[in-house]
Every structure is written in C-alpha cells, then in structure tokens.
Amino acid sequence: MPGSLVATSLKVYGMRNAAAAQLAYDALRQIDGVQQIATNVPLRRINVTHTPRRGITQELVAALRSLGFHAQEKG
C-alpha cells in the first residue's frame, strides 16, 4: 500500500552511551524515507520507521558501520 510505513529493528554493537546513540540517530535521519528513530542504549537497539523500499535496511546498516558500529537486523 503506497504511503504505508514499516519498522526495522537493528541490534547495534558498540553503541555504549547517549553520545553514541546521538551519532547513530543523526546518521540514520539522513537516509531517504526514514520517518522515526528510537534508540535504546541498554538494549543496544535502534528501531527505525521508514517508507518501504528495496535496500533501505542495507543503507541503515552501512550508515552505522561508517560510524564504527556493527549492526544487524533483528526479527
């Protein structure tokens, strides 16, 4: 359905504090289609709500990798 949003949950290794979470947030909000970002430092989790499109999960992971984090999608 056009206009619908999907959520992607990422486990992020290396995000140890609020400053790191802010860096991740700032990088992810630059990605086309990202609507909302919620970070949880203690759980090392980032939930991203975005428009559905091919390859966006890989873009999210690559953006985090560029900051030195290791991220993987969680089901």
User: What's the distance, CA 15 to chain centroid?
Assistant: 12
If you average pLDDT over every residue of the chain, what do you get? 95
Band (pLDDT 50/70/90 cuts) for residue 3 is: low
List the domain range (segments joined by +) for residue 41: 6-74
Q: Residue 36 has what pLDDT?
A: 98
Q: Residue 66 has what pLDDT?
A: 97
Upper half-sphere CA count for residue 64 (Cβ side, 13 Å): 27
Count of the separate structural domains present in the chain: 1
In a domain, 62, yes or no: yes
Q: What is the CATH number of the domain that holds 58?
A: 3.30.70.100
Q: What pLDDT digit, counting tens, does each position of 10-44 carry?
A: 999 999 999 999 999 999 999 999 999 999 999 99
In a domain, 11, yes or no: yes
Residue whose token pair is 């860096």: 23
Q: Residue 2 has what pLDDT?
A: 55
In a domain, 1, yes or no: no
In a domain, 18, yes or no: yes
pLDDT for 50 beyond 80: yes
